[in-house]
Amino acid sequence: MSDILRIASSELSSRFFVGTGKFSDKSLIGDVIRASEAQVVTVAVRRVDIESSDENVLSHVPQGTIVMPNTSGARTAEEAVRIARLAQATGNGNWIKVEVIQDNVYLLPDTIETLKATEILAQEGFIVLPYVTPDLSIARRLVDAGAAAVMPLGAPIGSNRGVRTKELIQILVDEISIPIIVDAGIGAPSHAAMCMEMGCDAVLVNTALAAAEDPVMMASAFRDAVRAGRNAYLAGIPSQALRATASSPLTGFLHDAH
């Protein structure tokens, strides 16, 4: 049975998106992406140095991979739009992860500015995936604005604390018609599996890969966890119960015969 994730006109077989920041050795990025079998990777535009093949992150991304530039560093909608246009002008296609952050302590997204940038870029034909807090009202407005997916945070960026916003993300999964891709905070394969078991459409992981002792092996572990969680969701996870339910009959034991 094929299980395809559709974003705009693209059909993806992988539900594991990979970030390319924070790697101490950029030469690892290609091996990590191949091990992850990710079809979409995100790249900070400010980390792309077209004058240097060594420093240019894109030189390490395998051919055929969808590159999704992000607007990391933008503090306003205007800045995010300018970064997105720059990325497109340098040949990086029309996928864009809108990331607008003014908070320097917790790095939480500015949802109002993110919404403004999404409206503008969607009208210009970009495939916009906005990074936001898991708020139903904002998510609905992003759908109306033309977002291709919504990327709610599981926990603060780079914290590896897992999905602390689980109940709010579940509301988005239940109520929002476009893909829900959990981004930020995922620190272990078990976190990714839980997201997929909830019915999320994909996850994006960066820090947990880059900070691992063996990033390539960790990428493989995440790949398998995402698949396992998705398969569990498709199989239909049984509901929980407050009381015990015997898995075998409680009658017919030897002493019952007497």
CATH of the domain at 202: 3.20.20.70
> For residue 35, is pLDDT > 50?
yes
pLDDT at 18: 94
Residue of higher predicted confidence among 117 and 90: 117
Least confident of 88-92, 110-114, 134-138, 219-223: 88-92
Task: Return the active site residues.
Answer: 97
Here the contacts of 126-130 (C-beta below 8 Å, separation 24 or greater) are 126/84, 126/88, 126/94, 126/95, 126/96, 127/7, 127/8, 127/10, 127/94, 127/95, 127/96, 128/96, 128/98, 129/7, 129/68, 129/95, 129/96, 129/97, 129/98, 129/181, 130/97, 130/98
Least confident of 87-96, 184-193, 238-247: 238-247
Q: Which of 11-25, 33-47, 79-93, 118-132 tops mean pLDDT?
A: 118-132
What are the strands of the beta sheet with 151-152, ordered from one edge? 151-152, 127-132, 95-98, 66-70, 40-44, 16-19, 202-205, 181-183
> For residue 245, is pLDDT > 80?
no
d(CA 14, CA 41): 11
Mean pLDDT of the chain: 90
User: Which residue range(s) make up the domain with 168?
Assistant: 5-257
pLDDT at 217: 96
Q: Give me the number of domains the chain comprises.
A: 1
Percentage above 70 pLDDT, the chain: 92
Least confident of 115-124, 199-208, 234-243: 234-243
Least confident of 100-104, 130-134, 252-256: 252-256
pLDDT at 51: 47
pLDDT at 242: 83
Averaged pLDDT for residues 79-105: 93
